[in-house]
Amino acid sequence: MNNRENTEALGLEVLETREWLDSLDYVLEHYGPERAGRLLQQLELHTARSGYRIPFSATTPYQNTIPAEKQPPFPGSQEVERHIKSLVRWNALAMVMRANKVEDGIGGHISTYASAATLYEVGFNHCFHARTADGDRDLIYFQGHASPGIYARAFLEGRISRDQLENFRRESKGGLSSYPHPWLMPHFWEFPTVSMGLGPIQAIYQARFNRYLENRGLKESTQGRIWAFLGDGETDEPETLGAIALAAREKLDNLIFVVNCNLQRLDGPVRGNGKIIQELEADFRGTGWNVIKVIWGGDWDPLIAKDRDGLLVKRMGEVTDGQFQKYFVSSGAYFRQHFFGTDPRLLKMVEHLSDEQLAKMRLGGHDPIKVYAAYKAAMEHRGSPTVILAKTIKGYGLGESGEGRNITHQQKKINDEELMRFRSRFGIPIPDEQLHDAPFYCPPPDSPAITYLQEKRKALGGYLPDRKVRAPKLSPIKEELFEEFYKGTGGRKASTTMVIVSMIAKMVRDHDFGKLIVPIVPDEARTFGMEALFRQIGIYSNVGQLYEPVDMGTLLYYKEAKDGQILEEGITESGSMSSFIAAGTSYANHGINAIPFFIFYSMFGLQRVGDLVWAAGDQRTHGFLVGGTAGRTTLAGEGLQHQDGNSQLLAYPVPNLLAYDPAFAYELAIIIQDGIRRMYVEQEDIFYYITVMNEPWEQPEMPQGVRDGILKGMYRYRKSG
Ligand SMILES: Cc1ncc(C[n+]2csc(CCOP(=O)(O)OP(=O)(O)O)c2C)c(N)n1
Ligand SMILES: [Mg+2]
């Protein structure tokens, strides 16, 4: 084809495409989206029948999921909220800068919050419930590196003092911990999120545990939601995406992920040669999540409205993340030339805009109207979890040396000139001569900004984050419950793994606290001889049992039930551990003294999920980790890799994890009984790791006066000689 023919063919194609689009518009307008959807399916089927394959795509075009005309009205004053957000930005920056001036290298991060400010502010003003009408509340997993912004807001709320801000990362002076930490700040932080990937997986299992509590009648069914804020780089961690299928399978519409897609991580771009938003959309859609993309801000709406032939959206879709990052740091002229300059029609679309205007075109994640629209849609969505993929700029507002630059993650300071620009851009009333010190700034309590902020939080039930122990102390448990285990097995051989299983079976029958026991297994119940529990207390399933189990006729059949007590997690020690943490922190988060027993193959425990165990310790989790079939002997048919002789060593470094390796049934009984007392009656923030053996032996009777020795770790069992 010569050039002329080529142009004609192109022209025809444009015409033809328009006709199809007009027809679709007609159907949409007259018969609605469902009819249009059916029609498109019909077309797809028809194409397939003709032997052609429509190229597979798990993604939608690179544009906002919610079009401008479907946006709800903004429920507050944008002007006041912008001012509040600017004040938070300022104080977050000032906190890190001042700390690093006093002591170089004190650390802290400024660019993460700078990119996520709008995502948090819209949540704080309109969405994060500290208490819903029914008495429940939202649980929020804040991105660890965004903590300066969360502190700065709490400062404006009057919850954190100037002194505390001043001593950021100087905890011994009563200052603030660098990252969310429920030990260092026990009345503030609930979830230690900074080991990346652990926040998202825990949020999923937390959302599931909320449903478990509701379905078992331990907690009223309410509207409390779980929000998890995470970085786009964080999605590399296998824990982040590894459990998303479970969230969809369990229809966790109480769960909202917000991924701050600033296209950058620590070293550089996240997917410089690709598009992280599209990649994540495919991952989440593929597993059945509701995906809401928030890519373009309102400045783009008029252009998108004019983009009848989809040229602009096509161009948006073909530019890589690395190139977008380049646009963020370049002039409007560069943007015009390289982004729009590929097609004269695109250039025409923006001819009415100056280079300066072009450079300022806001992204979706920085536009409160777009973010609110996404949050509202997510909160109203039913039947599946929602992920919001919000496009932002890392280090937004930090000026030439920070915004969108590869080094921005490590940046702790900006120079005086940039500080001045930041101050002016965000309208902070600090005079030039004071700027150098970056002083904190909080307007008086009766100022419009603070009054507004307080009213919004009041309407949403109070402040967040807010860690409290909400459960009452448990009454002491009855000694009789454990007495049979003091007597020994009378010559019969039993392993301590078998013993702990019968102990659990006995405890769950207890009238007072049996319902609080949460047995968790990663597909190993039969290994430990726990199958009797299937029938006794049922396996939790959010839909009950939709099939007739093959062993229905037997005594110990595989029973699933909506109010089942066992969490049968499948082969995921990380997921099981996340359930363990959700259950074991329920005394604080829900005011329920759930007592988790996570029983796993000891060889696939501490060394497999060590970081989650550490996080459990940080989170002041209560409960029992039980390393089953431990020891250098092993189950028949299993090999060397199943033989654990080292897991106790891995448990010792966790400061509040008490590790025991009991030999006899009575020792186990004493340890568990005392553990329940210490964790649930005395409310000590400790948890337990107990190894139970594979090898069966005769369990002796408990000698007199050994109780204290057992708990301390050593006692005289019998006199030698
Ligand atoms: C498990 C783990 N590995 C590495 C780090 C160190 N680290 C802290 S932040 C960061 C990059 C974060 O990038 P992203 O998730 O995109 O967050 P952003 O700051 O861009 O919002 C890294 C590698 C960590 N905190 N946890
Ligand atoms: Mg990032």
User: In this structure, which residue's CA is closest to atom 23 in ligand 1?
Assistant: 266
The C-alpha atoms of residue 581 and residue 614 are separated, in whole angstroms, by: 11
* Pair 293, 63: CB distance under 8 Å: yes
What predicted TM-score, i.e. pTM, was given to this entire model? 0.94
User: In this structure, which residue's CA is closest to atom 7 in ligand 1?
Assistant: 266
Q: What are the DSSP E strand ranges found in 40-198? A: 139-141
* Pair 42, 297: CB distance under 8 Å: no
**Of the residues 111, 118, 120, 145, which should be mutated to test ligand 1's pocket, given the most ligand atoms within 8 Å of the CB?**
145
For residue 269, the CA-to-ligand 2 centroid distance in Å is 8
CA of residue 211 relative to chain centroid, distance: 16
Q: Find the mean pLDDT for residues 268-288.
A: 97
Sheet holding 255-261, edge to edge: 139-141, 226-231, 255-261, 386-391, 290-294
pLDDT band per the 50, 70, 90 thresholds, residue 634:
low
For residue 111, the CA-to-ligand 2 centroid distance in Å is 10
User: In this structure, which residue's CA is closest to atom 25 in ligand 1?
Assistant: 195
Non-local CB neighbours of 536 within 8 Å, separated by 6+ positions: 505, 508, 509
Neighbours of 60 (CB within 10 A): 14
**Of the residues 120, 179, 181, 265, which should be mutated to test ligand 1's pocket, given the most ligand atoms within 8 Å of the CB?**
265
The C-alpha atoms of residue 457 and residue 293 are separated, in whole angstroms, by: 27
**Of the residues 111, 143, 196, 412, which should be mutated to test ligand 1's pocket, given the most ligand atoms within 8 Å of the CB?**
196
User: In this structure, which residue's CA is closest to atom 22 in ligand 1?
Assistant: 266
| pLDDT confidence of residue 134 | 66
Taking CA atoms, 38 is separated from 27, 45, 49, 362, 711, in Å, by 11, 10, 16, 36, 67
The C-alpha atoms of residue 16 and residue 28 are separated, in whole angstroms, by: 19
Least distant ligand from the CA of 229: 1
Ligand 2 (ion): residues with CB under 5 Å are: 231-233, 262, 264-265
* Pair 605, 627: CB distance under 8 Å: yes
The C-alpha atoms of residue 159 and residue 171 are separated, in whole angstroms, by: 17
User: In this structure, which residue's CA is closest to atom 10 in ligand 1?
Assistant: 266
Least distant ligand from the CA of 113: 1
Range 480-712: architecture per CATH: 3-Layer(aba) Sandwich (3.40)
Q: Between vectors from CA 429 to CA 424 and to CA 433, what angle results, nearest 5°?
A: 85
Q: Find the mean pLDDT for residues 652-661.
A: 97
* Pair 367, 300: CB distance under 8 Å: no
- At 145-180, the pLDDT tens digits run 999 999 999 999 999 999 999 999 988 888 899 999
Given a cut of 70, is residue 31 above it in pLDDT?
A: yes
The C-alpha atoms of residue 540 and residue 323 are separated, in whole angstroms, by: 48
For residue 197, the CA-to-ligand 2 centroid distance in Å is 13
| pLDDT confidence of residue 600 | 96
For residue 263, the CA-to-ligand 2 centroid distance in Å is 5
| pLDDT confidence of residue 358 | 96
Atom of ligand 1 nearest to the CA of 237: 1
| pLDDT confidence of residue 499 | 96
Given a cut of 90, is residue 384 above it in pLDDT?
A: yes
Q: Where are the domains of the chain?
A: 19-56, 78-297+362-424, 299-361, 480-712
Give the residue carrying structure tokens 């250098």.
632
For residue 234, the CA-to-ligand 1 centroid distance in Å is 6
- At 230-269, the pLDDT tens digits run 999 999 999 999 999 999 999 999 999 999 999 999 999 9
Atom of ligand 1 nearest to the CA of 197: 1
| pLDDT confidence of residue 5 | 74
Atom of ligand 1 nearest to the CA of 194: 25
Taking CA atoms, 46 is separated from 27, 40, 51, 52, 366, in Å, by 18, 10, 9, 9, 42
| pLDDT confidence of residue 636 | 67
The C-alpha atoms of residue 699 and residue 416 are separated, in whole angstroms, by: 74
pLDDT band per the 50, 70, 90 thresholds, residue 214:
very high
pLDDT band per the 50, 70, 90 thresholds, residue 401:
confident
Element (H, E) at 678: none
Cis peptide preceding 55, ω within 30 of 0: no
Least distant ligand from the CA of 197: 1
pLDDT band per the 50, 70, 90 thresholds, residue 222:
confident
For residue 264, the CA-to-ligand 2 centroid distance in Å is 4
For residue 251, the CA-to-ligand 1 centroid distance in Å is 29
Q: Nearest CA to 166 among 438, 450, 454? A: 438
| 480-712 has the same fold as 78-297+362-424 | yes
User: In this structure, which residue's CA is closest to atom 21 in ligand 1?
Assistant: 231
* Pair 160, 201: CB distance under 8 Å: no
Q: Find the mean pLDDT for residues 427-440.
A: 93
Q: Nearest CA to 259 among 143, 157, 146? A: 143
* Helix pair 496-509, 665-676: axis angle to 10 deg: 40
For residue 372, the CA-to-ligand 1 centroid distance in Å is 26
Given a cut of 80, is residue 6 above it in pLDDT?
A: no
Q: Find the mean pLDDT for residues 538-567.
A: 95
For residue 603, the CA-to-ligand 1 centroid distance in Å is 29
The C-alpha atoms of residue 712 and residue 188 are separated, in whole angstroms, by: 33
| pLDDT confidence of residue 190 | 97
Give the residue carrying structure tokens 């909220």.
81
Phi-psi region of 539 (alpha: psi -120 to 50; beta: other; left: phi over 0): beta
The C-alpha atoms of residue 101 and residue 219 are separated, in whole angstroms, by: 49
For residue 565, the CA-to-ligand 2 centroid distance in Å is 39
- At 100-156, the pLDDT tens digits run 888 888 878 899 999 999 999 999 999 999 986 666 799 999 999 999 999 999 999
Given a cut of 70, is residue 23 above it in pLDDT?
A: yes
For residue 109, the CA-to-ligand 2 centroid distance in Å is 13
How confident is the prediction for the chain on average, in pLDDT? 94
Q: Nearest CA to 452 among 91, 166, 79? A: 79
| Mean pLDDT lowest among 171-185, 349-363, 564-578 | 171-185
- At 469-519, the pLDDT tens digits run 999 999 998 989 999 999 999 989 999 999 999 999 999 999 989 999 999
Give the torsion sign (CA, 263, 267, 271, 273).
positive
* Pair 302, 352: CB distance under 8 Å: no
Least distant ligand from the CA of 411: 1
Atom of ligand 1 nearest to the CA of 260: 21
Q: Find the mean pLDDT for residues 455-479.
A: 94
* Pair 210, 254: CB distance under 8 Å: yes
**Of the residues 409, 411, 611, which should be mutated to test ligand 1's pocket, given the most ligand atoms within 8 Å of the CB?**
409
Q: Nearest CA to 269 among 142, 361, 362, 407? A: 407
Q: Nearest CA to 154 among 589, 464, 469, 467? A: 464
Neighbours of 385 (CB within 10 A): 28
Please give the structure tokens belonging to residue 670. Answer: 């004493």
pLDDT band per the 50, 70, 90 thresholds, residue 412:
confident
| pLDDT confidence of residue 555 | 85
Report helix, strand or coil for 292: strand
For residue 233, the CA-to-ligand 1 centroid distance in Å is 6
Least distant ligand from the CA of 143: 1
| pLDDT confidence of residue 1 | 55
DSSP assignment letter at 367: -
Backbone angles phi, psi at 261, to 5 degrees: -90, 80
Query: Residue 539's beta-bridge partner residues?
Result: 560, 566
Atom of ligand 1 nearest to the CA of 143: 21
User: In this structure, which residue's CA is closest to atom 9 in ligand 1?
Assistant: 266
Atom of ligand 1 nearest to the CA of 234: 15
Give the residue carrying structure tokens 């080094």.
407
The C-alpha atoms of residue 30 and residue 9 are separated, in whole angstroms, by: 32
**Pairing of the two strands 697-698 and 386-391:** unpaired
Taking CA atoms, 580 is separated from 24, 223, 515, 625, 713, in Å, by 51, 23, 16, 8, 25
Least distant ligand from the CA of 408: 1
For residue 226, the CA-to-ligand 1 centroid distance in Å is 21
Ligand 1: lining residues by beta carbon, under 6 Å: 112, 145, 194-196, 231-234, 260, 262, 264-266, 270, 394, 409
Q: What CATH fold (topology level) applies to the domain 78-297+362-424?
A: Rossmann fold (3.40.50)
* Pair 152, 112: CB distance under 8 Å: no
**Pairing of the two strands 493-494 and 697-698:** antiparallel
Neighbours of 336 (CB within 10 A): 19
For residue 248, the CA-to-ligand 1 centroid distance in Å is 26
